[in-house]
Amino acid sequence: MNRKAGIPLVALLIGACFPPDTPAPPGLVTNAAEAGQRGAVLAYAATLQFDTLTHGASDRQPLTLVDSSAMPPKDTIGPVGTIYPEKNTHHNSQDDLGGVGRIVARIYTTGEYSRLGLAAGWSYFWVDSLVMITSDSGRGRAIFIPADSTKPVTVRELRFTKDPPGAATERQAMARWRYYPLGSALPWERCTKMGCCEAF
């Protein structure tokens, strides 16, 4: 028996037991919010795959704007936003989103949405600096990076919520908009194996 012939099969079986997480950014990226790293960030984004096909993976909604001239103030309809998850985010570990982090979603807006710093067209939703505050919740940074490198990057706080004990472990990559009256339409993302990320 040729033992060498069995090595690729073993490697394949091991790989099948551990689904891939979102690929890590290159070493050139140490802080996705830095203007000087935008080229490396966008090059990294171009290597990722976003789920545009799976039923229920993405979400398209009109994004809300506050009309402060009305009494009382009210929400009005702004641009339409579509959010697509990176296809492997539901395999990420919490450590993957600590430190330099990962891109977890791609967003397309039909117009500028200044409340999140989204330019018209494509932007990327990056999560980094995730740290646990309690056993089931954490904080990090939500970074919105327009594909148009002339537009600024926006950094917001991020809330991480770990699934409760006993929650189902079968997942799919998934991203949603959450609506907050007189607030913002904020992106929510299944960003790890057992947890969710939401900008706020």
Gap between the Cα atoms of 197 and 139, Å rounded: 9
Reported as a single tens digit per residue, the pLDDT across 175-196 is: 999 988 887 889 999 999 999 9
Domain containing residue 50? 21-199
Question: What is the tally of structural domains in the chain?
Answer: 1
Amino acid making up residue 117? G
Q: Identify whether 181 is part of a domain.
A: yes
Q: Identify whether 172 is part of a domain.
A: yes
DSSP state, 111? S
Q: Identify whether 76 is part of a domain.
A: yes
Reported as a single tens digit per residue, the pLDDT across 11-67 is: 444 445 567 889 999 999 999 999 999 999 999 999 999 999 999 999 999 999 888
pTM here is 0.87
Q: Identify whether 15 is part of a domain.
A: no
Provide the pLDDT for residue 127.
98
Residue 13, both tokens: 């079986």
- The runs of H, that is alpha helices, within the chain are 7-17, 38-45
Q: Identify whether 7 is part of a domain.
A: no
3-state secondary structure at position 115: coil
3-state secondary structure at position 168: coil
Q: Which residue has the tokens 């919490």?
A: 94
Q: Identify whether 96 is part of a domain.
A: yes
Q: Identify whether 4 is part of a domain.
A: no
Q: Identify whether 16 is part of a domain.
A: no
Provide the pLDDT for residue 17.
59
